[in-house]
Amino acid sequence: MATFQYIAKNSAGQEVRGQIEAGDRAGAIAAVRAQGLMPTALGEVKSAAAAPAAAARGGAKGKKAAPAAQAKKSALKKDININLKMPKWLQGKINTKVLTQFTRQLATLVNAGLPLMRGIEVLKRQMKDAQMSEALGGISENIAAGGTFSESLTAYPKIFDNLYVNMVKAGEAGGVLEVVLARLAEFAEKNERIVNKVKGAMIYPIVVLVAAVGITGFLLVAVIPKFQQVFNDMLGGKALPGITQAVIDCSEWVQHNGLTILIIVAALITIKKIVGKTEGGAKFYDWLSLHMPVTGTLVQRTAVSRVTRTLGTLLSSGVPILQSLVIVRDTTGNRIVGDALQNVHDAVKEGEGMTGPLSQCKVFPPMVVSMVEVGEETGALADMLTRIANTYDDEVDNAVAGMTAAIEPALIIVLALVVGTIVIAMFLPMISIISSVSGAGQ
C-alpha cells in the first residue's frame, strides 16, 4: 500500500487536503471520490527509508542528504492535475441568459445522441462569454480524467448552484440527463421571465419618482429664489399669500439644509444595510416585503411560484423530497418562506405530510395547501406543484399589470399636484403685481 496526498473539492466547492492509502493511483482517486470529494491534484508520498542510512554515513555528505530526503518526503507529485483552479474574475455570478442558453443547447445535443463531453467541447468553442468558456474548459478536463458531470460542476459554485448540481446528479443516476437539462432550461427561462416582468413593472414608477424629485428640487433651489427676489422688489415687503410663503420657506430650508438632507439620506441607507445584515433585521425586512400594502401580494405570489416550481422540478427529476426541501429553502431568497420550508422539512422527516406545516406557517395561501394535499393523496405531488406554479405565474402577470395600472396614474397625479402647487403659489403674487401696475397706469 502506498500513501497519497490529495487536493480535492467538496460539494460546496471548498478545497480539502489530506492523505489516503491505496494500492495505486487509480485506487486512490476512487477512494477520494468515495468520500464525496472531487480530486483536483494527487501524488504519491515518497518513502523516507533511505534517510537513516544516509545519516549513518556521517560527514558533510550525510548532513546534506538528510534535508534532501526530507524534501522528497514532503513533496507532492501532481500525477494528475485537473484544471479546476478558478481565477479571481471567475468568482462572480454569471449572466442567467448565458447559463440558460448553455443548458438548453447541451440538452439538445445530448438528446440528439452526442456524447456529453463532445457536446461540452462544441459549446465551449462557440461560447462568447469568457467566464463560461473557462468553466467549460475545466469541466471538460475533469470529465476526461474520469470525473462525472455533476462532480465537475461543484468546482464552480458561483455558476452552477445547488439546484443545478443536484438535478444533474439525479439525471445521471437515472440515466435521463437530457430530460433533466431540458427541465433546468425551462425552469430558468420561466423564472427569468417572472423576474423580468417584476423588474419591468418597477422601471416606469421609479423613473417617474426620480423625475418628480429632480423637478421639485430644481424648482425649489433654482427657480423659486428668483421669484422671491422679484416679489420683494415689486411688492415692497407686502405680505405674500399663505401658500406662496409656505413654498418660499420650504425653498429656503432646502437651500440652507441641503447637506443635512444628504447626510440623513445616507444615514438611513447605511442603517438599513447594517440592520439588514443581522438575522432579526433581515427577517423583519423579508416579513415586511410580504405584507406591504401594494407590493406584498406580488412578492408573495412570486415566492409561491418560485418555491412550487423549484420543488416540482426537483421531485420530477428524481431528487429525494428531503434534499429537495433543503435546496428550495436555501434558494428561496426570503427567510420567512425559508423558515416555513424548514418546518415542512422537519415534519416530513418525522413521517408527517406537508399539508399541516404549510397551513400553519401562514405564508402559503389555502388554495396552495389544498392542492398540495391532493397531490400527496394521489401520488402526483410533482405534477401538482408544477400546476400551482403555472397558476401563480398567471396571477403574478395579473398582479404586475394591476400594480402598474394603479401606480402609474397615482405617481403622475402626485407629480402634477407638487408642480401645480408650486406654479400656483408663484402665480398668485403675480396677480397683485399686475393689478398694482394696471392701477398705476390708469
The number of beta carbons lying within 10 Å of the beta carbon of residue 115 is: 11
Q: What angle do CA 272, 275, 278 make, to 5 degrees?
A: 150
CA distance 362 to 329: 16
Q: Which long-range contacts (CB under 8 A, 24 or more apart) does 293-300 make?
A: 294/403, 294/406, 294/407, 295/403, 297/399, 298/198, 298/396, 298/399, 298/400, 298/403, 299/334, 300/363, 300/365
How is 221-248 classified by DSSP, letter by letter?
A: IIIHHHHHHHHHHHHTTPPPPHHHHHHH
Per-residue pLDDT of 66-107, as tens digits, reads 444 444 434 443 344 444 444 444 445 677 888 888 988 888
Instruction: Quote the cell numbers at residue 368.
Output: 396552495
- Comparing CA positions, the residue from 396, 394, 395, 376 lying closest to residue 385 is 376
pTM of the complete model: 0.61
Residue 41: the pLDDT is 66
Residue 16: the pLDDT is 81
Residue 263: the pLDDT is 92
CA 301 to chain centre: 18
CA distance 124 to 126: 6
Per-residue pLDDT band at 62 (split at 50, 70, 90): very low
Torsion on CA atoms 419, 424, 430, 435, rounded to nearest 10: 160
Per-residue pLDDT of 246-303, as tens digits, reads 888 888 888 888 788 889 989 999 998 898 888 888 889 888 888 887 778 888 888 8
CB-based contacts of 96, cutoff 8 Å, min separation 6: 188, 192
Residue type, 410: A
Residue 15 DSSP SS3: strand
Residue type, 290: L
Integer angstrom CA distances of residue 249 from 219, 233, 241, 261, 269: 13, 18, 12, 16, 27
